Amino acid sequence: MSSSFLSVRSRLIADAQTHGWDATNLSIALVTDGEILQAHHPRVRSAFRRILTERKVALHEHRRAREVTAGAISFDRGPPLAADAVLIATDATAPAWFAGTGLARDAGGFLAVGPTLQLTNDADVFAAGDCASLIETPRAKAGVFAVQAGPLLATNLRRRARGERLRAWHPQRLHLALISAGERYAVASRGPFKAEGAWVWTVKDAIDRRWMRIYQDTDRMVARRAMRSTAAPGANATD
């Protein structure tokens, strides 16, 4: 959330300046019921605490919000925080309708799947991406894992339909996250590794733009789909 928050802050200040408003009087705070970036190494969390301080953002950790009203945020303990506008962000949540399907779910309500992406209680149901949780090798709800699961999901659906042996997915334990800090600055995080600077933002921006171009170039998408349809089944899968 810290990365999205800082990007929103940068955009808010830029929009204020564009409209001729004085952004110097903006008072911005970030509130979380735990620590920021809990899934990352303490070095990364320390870097973002420093960045938030440099950007004059008040950080309130370990403060669980109880109520949001028109002019303040109330907490389980401690005084309320005055606020003219509040942006609320939460972790990924499982769709409520999963509860009535009888399909296996984990403690968070996400569909429980094994290495082949089959539901643990129904071999004819497959799931991948944020709706699913790998029971044997749990991973964070990160786009990199959803993207990696796609080719295997397609391969195993075809193999299941043909009665062939399915292939297992062994996702990487660590992945590189390039986290925007706003103002053309970013932090790279992979396990204990941490790097930061404008150059990290440049790399992230190039990767993001390249990814978006894949879905903007419709002619290329059609051509790639045609190539895949003529390729040998399972050619992109890994054992």
Encode the chain (239 residues) as per-residue pLDDT tens digits: 555 788 888 888 888 888 888 887 788 999 999 999 998 999 999 999 999 999 999 999 999 999 999 899 999 989 999 999 998 888 889 999 999 999 999 999 999 999 999 999 999 999 999 999 999 998 888 888 888 899 999 999 999 999 999 999 988 888 899 999 988 999 999 999 999 999 999 999 999 998 888 888 777 777 776 776 665 444 444 44
Q: Which DSSP state fits 117?
A: S
From 124, 143, 173, the end of a domain falls on 173
> Is 210 part of any domain?
no
In this structure, the answer to whether residues 61 and 137 fall within a common structural domain is no
Residues with Cβ within 8 Å of residue 105, at least 6 apart in sequence? 94, 98, 99, 111, 112
* Domain residue limits at 139: 96-173
Are 107 and 84 in a shared domain?
A: no
Is residue 225 included in any domain, yes or no?
A: no
Q: Are residues 127 and 79 in the same domain?
A: no
* Domain closes at, from 114, 142, 173: 173
Task: Using DSSP, state whether 185 is helix, strand or coil.
Answer: coil
DSSP state of 236: T
DSSP code of 85? -
The answer to whether residues 100 and 27 belong to one domain is: no
On whether residue 117 sits in a domain, the answer given is: yes
Query: Which three-class secondary structure state does DSSP give residue 102?
Result: coil
d(CA 78, CA 35): 17
Whole-number pLDDT of residue 48 = 95
Task: Name the residue among 158, 153, 94 with its Cα closest to residue 127.
Answer: 153
pLDDT of residue 174: 86
Same domain, 147 and 162: yes
CA distances from 209 to 59, 127, 205, 214, 218 (A): 31, 28, 6, 9, 15
| Structure token digits, residue 154 | 């397609």
User: Hey, is 139 helix, strand or coil?
Assistant: coil
- Interaxial angle between packed helices 218-230 and 198-216, expressed in degrees from 0 to 180 and rounded to the nearest 10: 70
32 and 105 inside one domain: no
Q: What is the CATH number of the domain that holds 122?
A: 3.50.50.60
Query: Is residue 42 assigned to a domain?
Result: yes
Two structure tokens written together for 75: 């907490």
Whole-angstrom distance, CA of residue 185 vs CA of residue 139: 27
Amino acid at 93: T
Amino acid 230: pLDDT: 61
**Which of 87, 128, 89, 135 lies closest to 108 in space, CA to CA?**
135
Which of 131, 151, 173 is where one domain is finished?
Answer: 173
Q: Both 54 and 125 in a single domain?
A: no
**24 and 46 assigned to the same domain:** yes
Residue-level pLDDT at 237:
43
| Dihedral sign for Cα atoms in the order 216, 184, 130, 100 | negative
Query: How many structural domains is the chain composed of?
Result: 2
Q: Please tell me the distance from the alpha carbon of residue 110 to that of residue 96, in angstroms, as a whole number.
A: 10
In a domain, 178, yes or no: no
